Amino acid sequence: MTKKTDPPKNTPPKQSPKVRCLMYTQQEDYWIKRDWQDEGKRIVAITKPQHWAAICHDKDVTKDGESVTPHIHLVLYFKNPRSPQNVAWEIGNRQGKREDAQTERLEFFKRPNNAYSYLVHFTEHAKDKYQYDPNEVLANFDFPKKIAAITKSVERSNGKKEADLIKEYLDLLYDGTLSLSEIENELSGSLYAKAVTRLKAVSDKQTDFKIKAFLDNISRKQTMKTIIYLYGKAGTGKTRLAKHFLTDRGQDYFISGSSRDPFQGYANQNAVILDELRPDTFRFDDLLELLDPYRFDAMIPSRYSDKVLTVDTLIITSPYSPRQLYDKMFSDASVDSFAQLERRLASVIEITKDYLYHVTYDTKTQAYLKIKNSQSPNPIKARQENKHPQPDEVYQNFISHLNRNEDTSYD
């Protein structure tokens, strides 16, 4: 005999305020899809949350030892607050009137971490229930990593005063056990606000330690900076190839952002991908300084403060070959010769959809020529096949949404 689940306790009342985090609970007899994963994906596709996580509770029992009917729990976290009635209406495949949608299967959570913890019964109130494996959770983020951070945060905070907890985090940051971003993920907003100035100060000190250790290591090894230049048309997989190369080498890397502040967020990773380098990204003399193979303490401009570029591997991706980039930067004759750029590059590789080519610069033609027998298949090609929907599919999907009669002004 199985017992059916009761509706969630924190059910949003009719005409409740808009919220960002909801947990949907439903027994398998009422799923629209037969499989719980398909049911979760169906709801996600129609409600479009920013983050989501789902699990099927199929091992729950009552206090009397009776099996509880298998049921899905789906946490939906939206970028902007949403009306529970609208979410319930969408979950029901937009059947009936929006204002009549039932919300008794939706539970509001002020803190998403509490909802995530309940999925595996890691909350205080659910500790006596079956403990589910975090790997059983289907999510659009690394759920096991997230729940581990939540658990650590709870363990550290149990029975501790705020001042003592902040002190512990400062020590963990100082000795390098935790990074600033990891601590930001663990701390509540109010606690982070109280500690942010001290955390930033300790983080700056930890950065000084990392820079000194890096420079000491480079000095000891007497190594040069390795600079690889990948160029080719858009869609050939340049950035993915660079990331795959660095990941395979076990190197932590940073990918540059917009040309306004390419190094925003750089945290002294020892490998950098200068992504989609264009003529207006850097001044030529600044670029030469960054690419100096013997310069390991070059200062890089950033929005809030200049940073030290501590890299031993730098990969450039660009739609331009090095020569094309130079010519675009200097339309007229310049005292800065192309040779200054060219001699800094350890390897230049042309990327096409099908192949990778090792190329070399020919001074007579002032162009890059393919080195004989250097052709290698592009490993990204197979992964790109059928990746994007056909234009007609996109068009039909666009039109189908426009032709819906429902008023979507509620959200």
Q: How far is CA 3 from the centre of its chain?
A: 40
pLDDT per position as a tens digit, 84-111 = 988 999 998 888 877 777 888 899 987 7
Give the model's pLDDT for residue 190. 82
Question: Can you give the pLDDT at residue 258?
Answer: 67
| Residue found under tokens 């090609």 | 381
**Greater confidence, 60 or 258?**
60
pLDDT score recorded for residue 59: 94
Where is average pLDDT lowest: 22-31, 159-168, 193-202, 391-400? 391-400
Inter-helix orientation angle 143-157/162-174, to 10°:
130
Predicted pLDDT of residue 162: 81
pLDDT score for 305 = 65
Q: Which helix (H) or strand (E) holds 67?
A: strand 67-68
Q: Is the pLDDT of residue 399 over 50?
A: yes
Task: Say which residue, 142 or 402, is predicted with more confidence.
Answer: 142
pLDDT of residue 408: 46
Q: Could you tell me how many residues make up the chain?
A: 411
Query: Band of the pLDDT at 8, cuts 50, 70, 90?
Result: low
pLDDT at 36: 96
In the chain, the amino acid numbered 262 is P
- Roughly what angle, to the nearest 10 degrees, separates helices 162-174 and 189-221? 20
Burial of residue 242 (number of CB atoms within 10 Å: 0-12, 13-18, 19+): buried
Residue matched to tokens 């013997």: 294
d(CA 88, CA 104): 9
Q: Which residue has the higher pLDDT, 305 or 212?
A: 212
Between CA 307 and CA 299 the distance in angstroms is 5
pLDDT at 129: 92
- Please report the pLDDT score of residue 406 as a whole number: 47
The pLDDT-based confidence of 352 (bands split at 50, 70, 90) is very high
Does pLDDT of 237 surpass 80?
yes
Report the number of secondary-structure helices (H) and strands (E) in the chain: 13, 17
CB 3 within 8 A of CB 56: no
pLDDT the model gives residue 388: 56
pLDDT of residue 30: 92
What is the tens place of the pLDDT at every residue in 158-210? 767 888 888 888 888 887 777 787 788 777 778 888 888 999 898 888 888 88
The per-residue pLDDT for range 317-337, each reduced to its tens digit, is 999 999 999 998 886 545 568
Q: Higher model confidence: residue 166 or residue 402?
A: 166
Asked whether the beta carbons of 75 and 116 are under 8 A apart, the reply is yes
63: exposed, middle or buried (C-beta count within 10 Å: 0-12, 13-18, 19+)? exposed
The per-residue pLDDT for range 117-135, each reduced to its tens digit, is 999 999 888 888 999 999 9
Q: What is d(CA 320, CA 204) in angstroms, rounded to the nearest whole number?
A: 36
Q: At what angle do helices 143-157 and 112-119 cross, to 10 degrees?
A: 110
**By CB neighbour count within 10 A (0-12 exposed, 13-18 middle, 19+ buried), where does 365 fall?**
exposed
More confident residue, 303 or 398: 398
Coil/strand/helix, residue 352: coil
CB-CB contact of 132 with 57 (8 Å):
yes
pLDDT at 57 over 60: yes
Q: What is the pLDDT of residue 407?
A: 47
